[in-house]
Amino acid sequence: MQPRRTASLNQLRTSFNNTALRSHPTPTFRSLFLTALSQKTAVITGGSRGIGLAIAQLFASQGARCTIVGRNQSHLDRALTLLAPLPLASIENSGSPSSTTIRKNHAKIDILVNSAGISGDGLLLRMPQELTNNIINTNLLGTISVTQHLLKPLLQGRQGCIINMSSIVGLEGNLGQSVYAASKAGVIGFTKALAKELGSRQVRVNCIAPGFVETDMTQDLLKRNRDLYKQRVALGRIGTVEDIAQTALYLATANYVTGQVLTVDGCTSL
Ligand SMILES: NC(=O)c1ccc[n+]([C@@H]2O[C@H](COP(=O)([O-])OP(=O)(O)OC[C@H]3O[C@@H](n4cnc5c(N)ncnc54)[C@H](OP(=O)(O)O)[C@@H]3O)[C@@H](O)[C@H]2O)c1
């Protein structure tokens, strides 16, 4: 009996988010069906896998109309299968994070999450120039150019919200990650400056600095050294994509928080 009741509640929520039920005269009735991101539009780069996908799943479950952006069509297709049962999910393959196609498709965007990113470890002495360029181009310039391309639709609603993905490595540095650290420290500077620039337009800009999170990006390291990484975390476990998604939901709804870096690492020492 329980699953059937949940399904019908979800159906009602979906229609509530879309229809005149939102203006029902009884506040209790309204609050029963109102979800945190009802009628919000979210664009999530890197939404085909890992942290970005978890954010898309949580945002869509909270009523947001999500567009996810990635490079690899099969990853996007798999993400769509996961998102399809959730209300209002939509999918887009921009081919590149700086594509203007997203802007063409959206007159108004409420939330932009810049989660697309790559890692690439190595001592600076041996770091290939091409890898250095890829890391900076994807993590830092990608974040800046997607944001720049989508600023107009973000300014439309006068309550926009940008969430960038940095890393504790961008705050503390880490051996063998100088280029990655530089890209993530750059994201922090970008976040703080843009928060000041867009505050008067009521657009909030924050970033998350995750610690070690279990995704494709960290799979190899975890296979080799899971216990070592766990020992470094005060909470005694590796972070999950859901840990980061919950933080993104907080930032998406925290109306007086801007220009902040939220560390989500279970208290980790690198
Ligand atoms: N995992 C961690 O421990 C950790 C810690 C701190 C910070 N972060 C940051 O969190 C973010 C997400 O990481 P993750 O662990 O979820 O990584 P992931 O599982 O490897 O996923 C990376 C995502 O970024 C997308 N992407 C990469 N380059 C792209 C490009 N040029 N254009 C469009 N999309 C691109 C990928 O798309 P495709 O599927 O098409 O490849 C994928 O959706 C990154 O910015 C990362 O630096 C991660």
Classify residue 10: in a domain, yes or no: no
Classify residue 30: in a domain, yes or no: no
Give CA–CA dist 250/218, Å, rounded: 25
Ligand 1 centre to CA of 103 (Å) is 21
Give me the number of domains the chain comprises. 1
Each residue's pLDDT tens digit, 106-155: 789 999 999 999 999 999 999 999 999 999 999 999 999 999 999 999 99
Classify residue 23: in a domain, yes or no: no
For residue 107, the model assigns a pLDDT of 82
Q: Hey, what amino acid is at 10? A: N
Token output for 229: 């990484």
What is the extent of the structural domain holding 187?
Answer: 41-264
Q: Which atom of ligand 1 is nearest to the CA of 169?
A: 6
Q: Which atom of ligand 1 is nearest to the CA of 210?
A: 6
Q: Which three-class secondary structure state does DSSP give residue 107?
A: coil
Ligand 1 centre to CA of 66 (Å) is 17
* Sheet arrangement for strand 41-45: 90-91, 65-69, 41-45, 111-114, 161-165, 204-210, 261-264
Each residue's pLDDT tens digit, 195-245: 999 999 999 999 999 999 999 999 999 999 999 999 999 999 999 999 999
Classify residue 136: in a domain, yes or no: yes
Is 180 in the active site?
yes
Q: Which atom of ligand 1 is nearest to the CA of 53?
A: 43
Classify residue 270: in a domain, yes or no: no
Classify residue 92: in a domain, yes or no: yes
Closest CA to 119 of 44, 247, 221, 237: 221
Give CA–CA dist 145/96, Å, rounded: 11
What is the CATH number for 145?
3.40.50.720
Candidates 43, 51, 68, 166: which one to mutate for ligand 1, based on the most atoms within 8 Å of Cβ?
51
